[in-house]
Homo-oligomer: A and B are copies of this chain.
């Protein structure tokens, strides 16, 4: 089997597979790259994970995820910053170029969205030198505004860039995830803005369909199974100069319940049908 050389399977799409199973299935399906998550890496043990990755021959496109640092100063915030530092070290150990950051929601009992957003910038300010020293980039992922209060106070690509552009683009960038940004009337101009400064650290693709499921966290679909027109987004990302791997990251109970090999096969086909052609066209 073979797959597009820029397709990376984000491990969350085959959430119930162990790290070794995930690496084996993805490699056997002919992919060259995988996006890892910290929990299955921790389950295997970091040293063992590093060895498993080396044995697989796969690139690691990113490590997901750190962040969750919207709380006010105090022990919980210090614990979060420490946890982020461990994640930076893991990212470097695994040879991944990028650590994905999800900001976190409003602290419990707080209505201070502006303050929470400032504390995201402050946390990245604390972590930037660690990332630079480790040779990895921190990738701020704006999440769809329906997650603003409980998961990520960074809601748009423009807002993520307002933070990222305060730092060196080798150290802090943004994630462009189609599911989270396709609705944004400003998305194409913000992708261009990100590209102009070299701030696109990751491009992730999956689809949006309605009605949303009861748990809106699990609302993602294979590219092509929803309403997103990937062509303008993919072309904008490529024209903006992004040359890295492209991850398919899907949270969906039905997909999680399927066999990992079937999921990787479907993902490969979906990528060919919705993304691959625009990668070539945008290069022309």
Residues of A within 8 A of B (CB): 105-106, 110-114, 117, 144-146, 148-150, 155-156, 158-159, 162, 182-186, 208-212, 214, 216, 226-229, 232
Contact = CB atoms under 8 A, between A and B. Distances in A.
Contacts of A111: 227-229
Contact of A212 (B114, B146, B185, B210): B146
Question: Which of A159, A209, A212 has the most chain B CB atoms inside 10 A of its CB?
Answer: A212
A145 to B, nearest CB: 4
Contacts of A209: 149
Number of copies of this protein chain within its complex: 2
Contacts of A228: 111
Contacts of A185: 117, 155-156, 158-159, 162
Contacts of A182: 113
Mostly, the A contact residues are loop
Contacts of A148: 183
Contacts of A159: 185
B227 A106 contact: yes
A149 B214 contact: no
A146 B144 contact: yes
Contacts of A156: 184-185
20 contacts: A105-B210, A110-B227, A111-B227, A113-B182, A113-B227, A117-B185, A144-B145, A145-B146, A145-B183, A146-B212, A146-B216, A148-B183, A149-B183, A149-B208, A149-B210, A149-B226, A150-B210, A150-B211, A156-B184, A162-B185
A74 to B, nearest CB: 20
A184 B229 contact: no
A149 B184 contact: no
A108 to B, nearest CB: 10
